[in-house]
Amino acid sequence: MPDSLEARVRAVRLTEAEQRVVDYVLAHPRQAILATAGQIAAGAGTSDATVVRTARALGFAGLPELRQSLTDRVVGATGPAAQVRRVAADSSAGLLERVFAEAADRLARTAAAVDGAAFDAAVALLAGGPARPPPAGQPTRPPLAGRPTTPPPAGPPIEP
C-alpha cells in the first residue's frame, strides 16, 4: 500500500460516502487529527462506521492510524524543519532574524492569552505559602487518600 494518503486514495475504489470522508479529512486535517469517528462523520455527512470503513479501505488498521497519517502530513508541512526549508529556499539572508521574530511573536501571543488576574492570584497564593517547615510531628504535605496524617512512630536510633 502506498505511503501518502493521496496515493492510497488513488489506489482504491471508494464509495461516495467514503469519498466524502476522505474529502473532509483532506480539507480539515488539523481538526481530523483529534476528532472522533463521530465528529469526522458529522463533518463529512456520513456515519461513524463509514469513517472506520474508509480508514480500513485505505489500508489503515483503523481510525488511529489514519489520524497518525494526517498528523505526519500536517507536521511535515508546518513543523520547524519545513519552515526552515521554506525560508532557506527563499534566501538564507535574514534567517536568524526571521526565527527570532517568529519566536517573539509566539511569546507575545502566549503572554496575551494569560489571564492577568488569575496570574496575580497564583503569585499571591505562592507568595503567601509557609516560609518555614511545619513543626515537628506535622505532615509536610496534604495527606493522600487512605494514608495516615501523622508520621510513623519513631523507631530505634540509626547507628552511624
Letter for the amino acid at 31?
A: Q
Q: Please tell me the distance from the alpha carbon of residue 28 to that of residue 51, in angstroms, as a whole number.
A: 14
pLDDT of residue 143: 56
Mean pLDDT of 71-76: 79
Can you give the pLDDT at residue 105? 85
Q: What is the mean pLDDT of residues 45-52?
A: 96
Per-residue pLDDT tens over the stretch 21-39: 999 999 998 899 989 999 9
Q: What is the C-alpha separation between 19 and 25, in angstroms, rounded?
A: 10
pLDDT digits (tens, 9 = 90+) for 107-144: 888 888 888 888 888 888 888 765 555 566 666 555 55
- The answer to whether 54 and 22 are in contact (CB under 8 A) is yes
Residue 6 pLDDT greater than 60, yes or no: yes
* Domain parsing of the chain, residue ranges: 5-77, 79-112
Task: For residue 5, name the pLDDT band (cuts at 50, 70, 90).
Answer: confident
Domain 5-77: top CATH class? mainly alpha
Whether the pLDDT of residue 14 is over 80: the answer is yes
Please, are residues 91 and 56 in contact by the beta-carbon 8 Å criterion?
A: no
Cell of 15: 464509495
Q: Is 13 in contact with 28 (CB distance < 8 Å)? A: no
Expressed in percent and rounded to 5, the helix, strand and coil fractions of the chain are 65, 0, 35
pLDDT of residue 74: 79
